[in-house]
Amino acid sequence: MKSVDLNCDLGESFGTFVVGQDKLILEHITSANIACGYHAGDHNVMSKTVKMAKEKGVSIGAHPGFPDLLGFGRRVIQTDPTDIYHFVVYQISALKGFCQIHDVDMNHVKPHGALYNVAAKDPLIAEAIAKAVYDTDRSLVLFGLSGSELIKAGSQIGLTVANEVFADRTYQPDGTLTPRTHNNALIHNIEEAVEQVLTMVKTSTVLAVDGSIIPLQADTICVHGDGPSALDFAKKLQEVLVKEGVKICEVKGRNTLT
């Protein structure tokens, strides 16, 4: 039986500004990537989201990004690998504090937005992020774009890695995601997005925007939680995967005691 993790970026509200339907989305996923205050989220939202995820039995992960609240972490900030190493350590550690007070383990780390995309191509940035995760807690799973430099860096340093694919994003011929600035970056039709997921899970391939078929590995599927149809899509995807005989479960990391 094939198995796959369903992850979603959560905890992206800030103060009284509410983003997404976190409580409802948690019913249909196995891993939650929680914003750590740099691109979105704040201390109150982080604590609340960790608590909700624990109550739903959903694995908790840190979702560090560039320090860019105004741009929601989708703008590249030119900085060096040492700076990136330090701010990733900082954000992971912040969320680990809330996991500690709620008596729940952290399971993974998934970079956000522009940081994620840069790390997919730049080996130095990827190495800085992988080292930050490893030095903070080597039992954590590192999520990265399937087959990317981040996956390579995580594997090389000794982390458990999870190759991530995207349900509602289109792909370039080199395996990267189509930039959000392009008109065809997003798949808005739920049926099309579900069909793309089934293809990726069953055949380990995806159809690129130019019509070529590219190989990839699907360990975890990202379901975006901030769109108008996010909840409907999460429900539909979960139902279809189960119907097709795919087991939905979290990606487990290594236990540091073993």
pTM of the model: 0.94
Query: What are the tens digits of pLDDT across the range 10-57?
Result: 999 999 899 888 999 999 999 999 999 999 999 999 999 999 999 999
Bigger pLDDT: 54 vs 231: 54
- The number of beta carbons lying within 10 Å of the beta carbon of residue 227 is 14
Structural domains for the chain = 3-248 (3.20.20.370)
Query: What are the tens digits of pLDDT across the range 75-134?
Result: 999 999 999 999 999 999 999 999 999 999 999 999 999 999 999 999 999 999 999 999
Distance (Å, whole) CA 235 – CA 85: 36
Distance (Å, whole) CA 109 – CA 106: 9
Distance (Å, whole) CA 132 – CA 121: 18
Query: What are the tens digits of pLDDT across the range 176-226?
Result: 999 988 999 999 888 999 999 999 999 999 999 999 999 999 999 998 766
